[in-house]
Structure 1
Amino acid sequence: MLMRLARVEEAGALSELALRSKAHWGYDELFLKACRDELTLLPEDVSSRRTSVVEIDGRIAGFYTLDGQPPEGELGNLWIDPEYLQRGIGRSLWQHAMGVARELGFATILIDAEPNAEAFYLEMGATTVGTTPSPSIPGRVLPRMRFDLR
């Protein structure tokens, strides 16, 4: 397993990975179409959003984005290709992201979580602090979570 910074030319592949990961939860095509813009990374997003990937045997197995400026940031994405679920990839990505966040001086990381991933973030030590409206689906809310790095 290799953790590295994402490359700008990988933006399309990362966007497709995020959609595959979202689809894993059983959402229909209409729902996924509504989420496409939200889950799309543009080449300029890759560097500006501090995007890191995990590679296994030369294939991208997952990625995260770490957004914002210290002291408070946001885990904007954390997606795992469904082919690589249940292999510790999520935990590795999380630990890497929180290590980078600490190095950059973040005190708090906020997460607007995929509802099906809330239990994962709770297991990682985050707490649910409320809800936030979905940017893609009117009337839908996402768990708003917080992780304190200190």
Structure 2
Amino acid sequence: MSDPLLIRRARRDEAAALSDLAMRAKAHWGYDDAFMEMCRDELTIHPERIETGEVWVAERDGAAIGLLEVRFEEDGEAEVQHCFVDPSAMASGIGRRLWAKAEDIARAAGVAAIGVDSDPNAEGFYQAMGAVTVARSPSGSIPGRTLPRLRKRLAPSAA
């Protein structure tokens, strides 16, 4: 039996639904309403970013259950901007599949490393993917809060 999970490019008309998915996934960690409201702008997926960037959706049975956004930095590295799995699908391997997609995107672009500023609750996931905590970064949403900064050097593609 084949895996019914599809990882595909996001569509512009999915921006609001993907923003909602990001908010649900972040809220899963028990953050209160005030905290979540402070994160809203940072977790909003804009249609323009879908059109011009690497925004991907994990879909099962026609429903978006995962989100990945990769950006390329001026320093020549890839940055995972968003990697979220709907709470109903957490711990099912979708995050691992999205991370593998991020690595594939980075390698295809000839990038040697991939980084992410992680929610503290997701740091262990990224470490399990082979990323190493290298620093702390200021939160883009919460003044005075810092986030684990992780980085993974990528082996060149075998192709």
Say whether the fold is shared (TM-score over 0.5): yes
Residue of 10, 14, 17 corresponding to 1:10: 14
Give ranges in structure 2 of 5+ residues lacking alignment. Answer: none
State the TM-score, normalized to the length of structure 1: 0.97
Q: Does 1:27 align with 2:31?
A: yes
State the TM-score, normalized to the length of structure 2: 0.91
Query: C-alpha displacement at 1:20, in angstroms?
Result: 0.2
Within a 5 Å distance, the mapping from 1:1-150 to structure 2 comes to: 1-69=5-73, 71-150=76-155
Give ranges in structure 1 of 5+ residues lacking alignment. Answer: none
CA–CA distance in structure 2, aligned partners of residues 96 and 21 of structure 1: 19
CA RMSD of superposed structures (Å): 1.0
CA–CA distance in structure 1, aligned partners of residues 110 and 11 of structure 2: 24
Query: C-alpha displacement at 1:42, in angstroms?
Result: 0.9
Letter in 2 for 1:137: I
SS in 2 for 1:135: coil
CA–CA distance in structure 2, aligned partners of residues 63 and 35 of structure 1: 16
Shifted more, 129-138 versus 63-72: the winner is: 63-72
CA–CA distance in structure 2, aligned partners of residues 89 and 2 of structure 1: 10
Moved over 3 A (4+): none
> Which of structures 1 and 2 has the bigger CA Rg?
2
- Percent of counterpart pairs with the same letter? 49
CA–CA distance in structure 2, aligned partners of residues 19 and 68 of structure 1: 23
Query: C-alpha displacement at 1:43, in angstroms?
Result: 0.3
